[in-house]
Amino acid sequence: MSDTAYPAIAAGRRWPNLWDAAALLCVFGMLIAVANVARGTFAPLSNPEAVTISLDPAHLPAYAVRTTLRMFAALLASLLFTFTYATFAAKSRRARLILIPVLDILQSVPILGFLSFTVVFFMSLFPGSVLGVELAAIFAIFTSQAWNMAFSMYQSLVTVPGDLDEAARSFRLTAWQRFWRLEVPFAVPGLVWNTMMSMSGGWFFVVASEAISVGNTTWKLPGIGSYVALALEKRDIVAVGWAILAMLVVILAYDQLLFRPLVAWSAKFRFETTASAAAADPWLLALLRRTHLLRVAGEWLGGRLAAIGGAPLRLLPARRRGVRGQASRLGDAIWAVLLAAAVALAVWRIVTFVSGALAWPDVAEAFVLGCFTMLRVGVLMVLASAIWVPIGVWIGLRPYWARRVQPLAQFLAAFPANLLFPVFVVVIVRYALNVDIWLTPLMVLGTQWYILFNVIAGAAAFPGDLREAAANFRVGGWLWWRRVILPGIFPYYVTGAITASGGSWNAAIVAEVAAWGDQKLTAHGLGAYIAAATDAGNTAQIVLGVTVMSVFVLLFNRVLWRPLYAYAGRRLTFA
CATH of 55-271+281-308+329-571, one of 1.10.10.10, 3.40.30.10, 1.10.3720.10, 3.40.50.1860: 1.10.3720.10
Gap between the Cα atoms of 153 and 172, Å rounded: 24
Q: Report how far apart the first and last C-alpha atoms of the chain are (Å, whole number).
A: 33
Name which of 252, 284, 251 is nearest 265 in CA terms.
284
Tell me the percentage of the chain whose pLDDT exceeds 90. 10
Rounded to an integer, the average pLDDT of 408-420 is 74
* Lowest mean pLDDT segment, chosen from 234-248, 260-274, 441-455, 480-494: 260-274
CA angle, residues 215, 221, 227, in degrees to nearest 5:
100
Residue spans per domain, the chain: 55-271+281-308+329-571
Q: How many CB atoms lie within 10 A of CB 27?
A: 11
Name which of 385, 387, 405 is nearest 396 in CA terms.
405
Residue-wise pLDDT tens digits, 51-101 = 778 889 999 988 998 899 899 999 999 999 999 999 998 888 778 878 887
Longest alpha-carbon distance in the chain? 78
Report pTM. 0.76
Amino acid 49: pLDDT: 67
Gap between the Cα atoms of 373 and 503, Å rounded: 12
Query: Is 72 exposed, middle or buried (CB count within 10 Å of its CB: 0-12, 13-18, 19+)?
Result: middle
Gap between the Cα atoms of 71 and 73, Å rounded: 5
DSSP state of 57: G
Residue-wise pLDDT tens digits, 455-466 = 988 888 888 788
**pLDDT band (50, 70, 90) for residue 280:** low
Gap between the Cα atoms of 463 and 575, Å rounded: 12
In total, the chain counts a number of residues equal to 575
| Residues ≥6 apart with Cβ < 8 Å to 257 | 284
Amino acid 328: pLDDT: 62
Amino acid 11: pLDDT: 44
Residue-wise pLDDT tens digits, 109-162 = 666 566 666 777 887 888 877 888 888 888 888 988 888 899 889 988 888 887
Residue-wise pLDDT tens digits, 365-393 = 999 999 999 999 889 889 999 999 999 99
Rounded to an integer, the average pLDDT of 22-42 is 72
Q: Which comes out higher in pLDDT, residue 269 or 249? A: 249
DSSP state of 419: G
